[in-house]
Amino acid sequence: MDSQELTDFKAQLRKQAFAERDLAWQKNPGAGEALKHHLIEALAMPPGLAISGYWPLPGEMDVRPALAHYHAEGHAVGLPVVTGRNLPLIFRRWNPKVELVQGSFRVMTPPDSAPAVIPSILLVPLLAFDPEGYRLGYGGGFYDRTLAKLRHEAHAVAVGVAYAVQEVPMVPRGIYDQPLDYVVTERAVFKFNRKSDL
């Protein structure tokens, strides 16, 4: 499939995935708590390891219970910040007392005064995932660039977080699409055959 066909295929799948995800969000108000328990079971987090999450937009899996847990356990928790088009994300440190500000794409982030965090584990939002660990994102490529950079520099581990209904038979992929090491849903944990030892 050529570049335009891939783009069109992804766009079509995104429309379907948004609808599936939003319906799951409405039907599963406690999914974030269930996700937290699966994350704790799946990830053997050494003391002090830095982890990143995100502040969920409507429809996205709520990782805030997990972030609060990891903060309480003493881990540095970062939230993503967009610094420019075609650039990797950076992460600024979050704690429950930080007053968030609205960043790019209506995403809430810590203020510029918050220190940077380099996460070893990234909780990655997605629209769909497949049995090989590929994800369908929103189309900006921010997480693909970020994962490529942090895997090279810090051997980072990518954990997709999703509702179970977001699994699809195949996610269309290009040469720059980064696979996930895990996907964790409110129902199950999927570990893929990557280098991760967690």
- CATH value at residue 118: 3.40.50.10420
pLDDT for the residue numbered 80: 98
Exposure b/e, 156-180, CB count within 10 A at least 16 = b: bbbbbbbbebbbbeebbbeeebbbb
* CA 98/CA 87 separation, integer angstroms: 25
Structural contact between residues 159 and 122, judged by C-beta atoms closer than 8 angstroms: yes
CA distance 57 to 8: 25
DSSP notation for 14-44: HHHHHHHHHHHHHH-TTHHHHHHHHHHHH--
Indicate the helix (H) or strand (E) that contains 128: strand 128-129
What phi and psi, each to the nearest 5 degrees, are found at residue 147?
-65, -40
132 is a domain residue: yes
Whether 196 maps to a domain, the answer reads: no
What pLDDT score does 62 carry?
Answer: 98
The pLDDT of residue 197: 56
- Asked if residue 198 is part of any domain, the answer here is no
Q: In this structure, what DSSP letter does residue 167 have?
A: B
Whether residue 168 lies inside any domain: the answer is yes
pLDDT at 198: 62
What residues make up the domain containing 184?
3-191
Ranges of residues in the chain whose predicted pLDDT is under 50: none
Could you tell me the two tokens for 64? Answer: 């805030």
Quick check: is 197 in a domain?
no
The alpha helices in 73-182, defined as continuous H runs, are 142-154
Phi and psi angles of residue 121, each rounded to the nearest 5 degrees, phi first: -125, 130
pTM, two decimals, is 0.94
Query: Can you tell me whether residue 132 is helix, strand or coil?
Result: coil
- State the total domains in the chain: 1
Phi, psi of 104 (to 5 degrees): -65, 150
